[in-house]
Structure 1
């Protein structure tokens, strides 16, 4: 039988699958923490000042802010990262950021992040959509839908 994560779980069930809920993989994920980095057009947010900067930028330019709440030890967070980076490069009319739930734990809690990854789509500072979990196809679908909304509004 699997184990529940002691942190924000990537899945909300007891499982024995190979994911960060498995104690062995959590240890491996933590040991690889240094290799979990962001590049390209994805902006890491580790301070509230950076959050304020990005949300102000999005609001003042009429852009959608895509927020990926992730955990460095969470395998699904790591799995969707390349897709998230690709989406950021493709949809330049949106602003993509990542927030580590451990670095900004209270802030993540305010956004009702109960699992990682959680991707929130914001327009004018308000949530317009949300994806919980590492479903790459659904992330691509929701991002395309948000981009289409921007096109219809312009």
Structure 2
């Protein structure tokens, strides 16, 4: 419960609770917010203060990503987002951080219920305070995206390759919020606990750490929410599906036998026509030899995928044996080893690198 003067904002914590509130409360306003969105947190202050100015309206708050069933009822595509309801029906909505419009729409809702209400014109400046309003003006220049709907353009080739490499990096892979040791949402925590209880080894990626991956995965997998669980490169589903499969005893059977290291290496090598196993990433190499090879490939305008061998000791050691090549970087083309830094630089100096990789 969040207080605002004499008013209050009630947190809705389940779809069942929400359905009961819809039947018993009128009029009411829903504020869909997210803890990671600064504009949501600022508008939350405004929302709480306004609840005091309009004591005859019910103010409810919904954490959009924690209550995905409720969010999906309104086809949510961004936060903050407000829904204005009367007699169980939606009469208005507001997207984004706009304190004045929020106050006016609440006043309009009240006027439609009680003609001539004394609270028909709230002073948003008095309600929220000038410091909050100025902060919101800065934050609200661009709305914050929400995973209920994909708003990104088509995936670039480089991003698609990166996402595929993440999916293929482990036989079972989880895109989640936080880490297995410190999940940052209830759904991610539930899936992690299920996988651990099943004795399943898995890799993971914290989508809160990289917005490009977060947005890209929604389109890549055609799945709008997180967590997302993959097995052998195929999407299994999100939290609800994982829970249902676990309860039916089907999860471990579907995940199947573990992929061998050799199978994993072959999959990584073939994940891009030209593939570099290097230290660091192309944009941030972590050794001079890797940097030289990346520069050579870029100079001849050859597209390539990459894998940071510093991020995975199994791959780092395994690829040495697999290729019979003890050092890094290692460059592959169409599944075959081309060589290391010296060979690549020699091919480049002789003008043969582009032809070799075409």
TM-score by length of 2: 0.30
Q: How far 1:85 sits from its partner (Å)?
A: 0.7
Q: What is residue 150 of structure 1 aligned with on the other side?
A: 113
Report the Cα distance in structure 2 between the residues aligned to 1:47 and 1:153, rounded to whole angstroms: 35
Deviation per residue, 1:124-143 (Å, 9 max, x gap): 11110000001011101111
Q: What is residue 23 of structure 1 aligned with on the other side?
A: none
Report the Cα distance in structure 2 between the residues aligned to 1:39 and 1:91, rounded to whole angstroms: 13
Instruction: Say which of 96, 103, 108 aligns to 1:133.
Output: 96
Q: How far 1:153 sits from its partner (Å)?
A: 9.4
Q: Which ranges of structure 2 fall in alignment gaps of 5 or more residues?
A: 118-358
Structure 1 outlier segments of 4+, above 3 Å: none
- 2:15–2:69 contact (8 Å) kept in structure 1: no
- 2:33–2:81 contact (8 Å) kept in structure 1: yes
Q: How far 1:77 sits from its partner (Å)?
A: 0.6
Q: Which ranges of structure 1 fall in alignment gaps of 5 or more residues?
A: 1-36
Q: What is residue 55 of structure 2 aligned with on the other side?
A: 92
What SS class does the counterpart of residue 147 from structure 1 fall into? helix
Instruction: Say which of 64, 71, 87 aligns to 2:27.
Output: 64
Q: How far 1:56 sits from its partner (Å)?
A: 2.0
Number of aligned residue pairs: give it.
114
Instruction: Say which of 37, 50, 57 aligns to 2:17.
Output: 50
Report the Cα distance in structure 2 between the residues aligned to 1:39 and 1:54, rounded to whole angstroms: 19
Report the Cα distance in structure 2 between the residues aligned to 1:110 and 1:48, rounded to whole angstroms: 10
What SS class does the counterpart of residue 152 from structure 1 fall into? coil
Report the Cα distance in structure 1 between the residues aligned to 2:24 and 2:36, rounded to whole angstroms: 30
Larger radius of gyration between Structure 1 and Structure 2: 2
Q: What is residue 124 of structure 1 aligned with on the other side?
A: 87
Deviation per residue, 1:107-139 (Å, 9 max, x gap): 202211110011000111111000000101110
Alignment CA distance shift 1:110-1:53 (3 Å)? closer
Aligned-pair Cα RMSD in Å:
1.9
What SS class does the counterpart of residue 112 from structure 2 fall into? helix
Deviation per residue, 1:29-83 (Å, 9 max, x gap): xxxxxxxx7335100001122212321221xxxx211000111111111111111
Corresponding position: 1:38 with 2:5:
no
Alignment CA distance shift 1:51-1:94 (3 Å)? same
